[in-house]
Structure 1
């Protein structure tokens, strides 16, 4: 099911928790504040990991193997992480975690608030935005940046080794398996697209594709302001919409890529115009689709669909 938003409706609510939710969480967290997670040592205990979103949770689970238990709070393809209303159970999960994985960059401010509400010297919090040097206002979709994905993989492994130093060699082995085996097709497909389609002009519906396109060697022509406006739930300017209409009408772009979980009326109109003009349309999603898919299976399936669209458009 696609998430649709009427024109002018703010999609990204980067506000604090509602008063009722905050009060509920405060009660739940106060009950957890004196309970420290069990220390993992020499494989005697499992590392409890909580990820705000399942794309990071999938990687954390693969990197930790049998030595971790990973809970992903956002694990439904129809849920919007930006607008998620956390529950008391979410607060308890983060409060008792040995490792909390948060995307940051304003994407999941609710998760940061939950972690801050219950500080613990025995919990490691990995905020991806901080790790990669991104700040609020930057593109938050860091899992669509292959370089950032590699950074996160390295840091999760380092955090596991810090939490459970007795099993450091196990985590090193898991790290190498994830990079060289589990994600081999992911990295290989990125290289293949870049080799075969470098410089191909494309259009996109929002900023979710803005970091992936250069990694794939594609030339993203959509105005940056339009990409941000759609991502932020703002009304794009008439000038930007006219520019995209012209790109489609004159076939200046070869493929149009859109986030089906944010199909606003403006985006849906562009999708329809692209199809009418004979421009292949490729779909990506914000969270793991289907739910339960691994990070790499989800990404590679999207890459394969994009390859097919690019091949159709260029004849390669």
Structure 2
């Protein structure tokens, strides 16, 4: 999906296919570890001193899981590198072992991390609780998978993770409730405040976007995305956008029908880069977002707040508000 991350020409649909041999190898290792997964998980549940072993397919969900669980969880995020493409990730044997021994697993779903679903299927365990974000928020395969950019969906995930921790370790229910309250009331206060402020001040403002990753955030902020949906999906999925869509966007920029242009800097295809340059030439402010946590080691809220402030600044520059 991301030519900026993978030195290659314009992305093609083949980049959405996992290498069968590598996947099979990872699944095979996971399967052999299946019998030990159940015993390991059972051992964890019998000891109140042991943290819940958690695996998250992506670090944006892993960051939430770690902060909500505190000292009573140990979270491993498989995608934990800003240069990795979650769509095309090829699981390793170590990933299979991590999944096999996890008591709690968080995957995005909606076709975004199909490799994670395969790892879980290869390691069935009645003692493991699984959260599929797409299933939770009611978005089916084919829908927009970038749910971590939907503020409402983020809060749904927070609710579910806390509820699941309490079921897995009921003796610490009050601890997990307290972690959730502090996280929502204090830790996410700036994040929630920026979303509310942007929505109140700039609702209805027309923007352009590079791909569908921007859409859930634009909806949450009340912004109006003018970019054709077919273009957004094409860039997100690594296929060639149509000449008609590109012409429409060129016109929107040239005639300043959009106030701000928001793009995924980790997926700056030649078409996207051309639009960024056109927007800047026309004096249209440009803001960026990224697919995964940046910089490496940033928390979910640090990452999101930085991006929200950049979008807010771009909107203020464009509208004078």
TM-score, normalising length: structure 2: 0.94
Query: 1:57 aligned to 59, 62, 68, which one?
Result: 62
Which residue number in structure 1 is paired with residue 242 of structure 2?
237
Which residue number in structure 2 is paired with residue 88 of structure 1?
93
- Check whether the contact 2:18–2:89 (CA below 8 A) recurs between aligned residues: no
- Which is further off, 193-202 or 104-113? 193-202
User: CA 1:42 to 1:117, structure 2 compared with 1: closer, same or farther past 3 Å?
Assistant: closer
Partners in 1 of 2:25 and 2:233 — Cα distance? 33
Deviation at 1:28, TM superposition (A): 4.5
Secondary structure in 1 matching 2:294:
coil
- Gap regions ≥5 residues in structure 2: none
Which residue number in structure 1 is paired with residue 9 of structure 2?
6
- Check whether the contact 1:104–1:127 (CA below 8 A) recurs between aligned residues: yes
Q: What pairs up with 1:1-316 in 2 under 5 angstroms?
A: 2-3=4-5, 6-7=9-10, 9-10=12-13, 13=16, 15=17, 18-36=20-38, 37=41, 38-40=43-45, 43-316=48-321
- Check whether the contact 2:37–2:125 (CA below 8 A) recurs between aligned residues: no
User: CA 1:8 to 1:301, structure 2 compared with 1: closer, same or farther past 3 Å?
Assistant: closer
Cα shift readout 1:4-34 (whole Å, capped 9, x = no counterpart) = 6533523751x45512441353034313433
Partners in 2 of 1:215 and 1:24 — Cα distance? 37
Partners in 2 of 1:233 and 1:2 — Cα distance? 12
The number of aligned residues is: 315
Partners in 2 of 1:91 and 1:261 — Cα distance? 27
- Check whether the contact 1:42–1:166 (CA below 8 A) recurs between aligned residues: no
Cα shift readout 1:47-84 (whole Å, capped 9, x = no counterpart) = 00000000000000010001000011101111100011
User: CA 1:293 to 1:61, structure 2 compared with 1: closer, same or farther past 3 Å?
Assistant: same
Deviation at 1:41, TM superposition (A): 5.6
- Check whether the contact 2:29–2:96 (CA below 8 A) recurs between aligned residues: no
User: CA 1:11 to 1:231, structure 2 compared with 1: closer, same or farther past 3 Å?
Assistant: farther
Partners in 1 of 2:51 and 2:19 — Cα distance? 31
Deviation at 1:93, TM superposition (A): 0.3
Secondary structure in 1 matching 2:56:
strand
User: CA 1:31 to 1:121, structure 2 compared with 1: closer, same or farther past 3 Å?
Assistant: same
- Gap regions ≥5 residues in structure 1: none
Secondary structure in 2 matching 1:210:
helix
Secondary structure in 2 matching 1:39:
helix
Secondary structure in 2 matching 1:34:
helix
- Check whether the contact 1:206–1:227 (CA below 8 A) recurs between aligned residues: yes
Partners in 1 of 2:259 and 2:178 — Cα distance? 42
Q: CA RMSD in A?
A: 1.6
Deviation at 1:125, TM superposition (A): 0.9
- Which is further off, 43-52 or 156-165? 43-52
